[in-house]
Amino acid sequence: MSTAESPVRFERRPIVIVMGVSGSGKSTVGEALAERLGVPFLDADDFHPKANVEKMSNGIPLTDVDRWPWLDSLSQGIRDEAADSGGVVAACSALKLIYRDRLREGVRFPLTFALLDGNRDQILRRMEARKDHHMPASLLDSQLADLERPDAHEGVVTVTIDDAVEHIVDHLLAKITMRP
């Protein structure tokens, strides 16, 4: 078994939220990271109420009021999964500090946020290439406008999306294992 296929061992299984704007690769990277860590994967898109999915599908950006029940449902899912398995990786935009704080409060276990960072043109190309996704490329600019980049004191791990998924996961693992 190669290093890329071997689960990474931690003293305590981590809870990681892979964050970023739509099209940054949260689900793809999150699934690969979860596999490497040997923990379950949750996609925040699966926790959206039907009304949120309909709004996004119609090109209408979500408001904070739309997001609270979604973030609370996701927090519960992460908390339950972490209690059962000891760790979990979730993909969630978590664009604003108040959303990240809501998740921290709701999960009630130590979290690591990992921001997937890329430029607008690169992300737009990815969004335009996707099929059957509820988030249209027309909402990218609203996502970028909502993104509150974490500052140093927040402790968010940041990696660029300018690499193969396996290498992005390697970079994330290196940064996560260096955290206390």
pLDDT digit string (tens) for the chain, length 180 residues: 444 555 555 456 899 999 998 778 899 999 999 999 999 999 998 999 999 989 888 888 889 999 999 999 999 999 999 999 999 999 999 999 999 999 999 999 999 999 998 886 766 675 566 566 555 555 667 777 788 999 988 989 999 888 899 999 999 999 987 665
Domain boundaries, given as residue ranges, for the chain: 36-178
Q: Measured between alpha carbons, how far is 58 from 23 in angstroms, rounded to an integer?
A: 17
Helix (H, G, I), strand (E, B) or coil at 56: helix
Dihedral of CA atoms 153, 20, 179, 72 in degrees, nearest 10, equals 80
Structure confidence at residue 114 (pLDDT): 96
Structure confidence at residue 94 (pLDDT): 94
The third-level CATH classification (topology) of the domain covering 36-178 is Rossmann fold (3.40.50)
Structure confidence at residue 21 (pLDDT): 85
Q: Measured between alpha carbons, how far is 139 from 166 in angstroms, rounded to an integer?
A: 28
Structure confidence at residue 8 (pLDDT): 53
Distances (CA, A) of 34 to 14, 56, 67, 96, 176: 10, 27, 24, 24, 13
Structure confidence at residue 1 (pLDDT): 42
Q: How many CA atoms does the CB half-sphere of 146 hold within 13 Å? A: 21
Structure confidence at residue 133 (pLDDT): 52
Structure confidence at residue 83 (pLDDT): 92
Residues 60, 64, 66: CA angle, nearest 5 degrees: 60
Q: Are 95 and 148 in contact (CB under 8 A)?
A: yes
Q: Are 135 and 56 in contact (CB under 8 A)?
A: yes
**56 Cβ partners below 8 Å, 6+ apart?**
48, 62, 134, 135, 136, 139
Structure confidence at residue 24 (pLDDT): 83
Structure confidence at residue 2 (pLDDT): 43
Written as one letter, the residue type at 97 is L
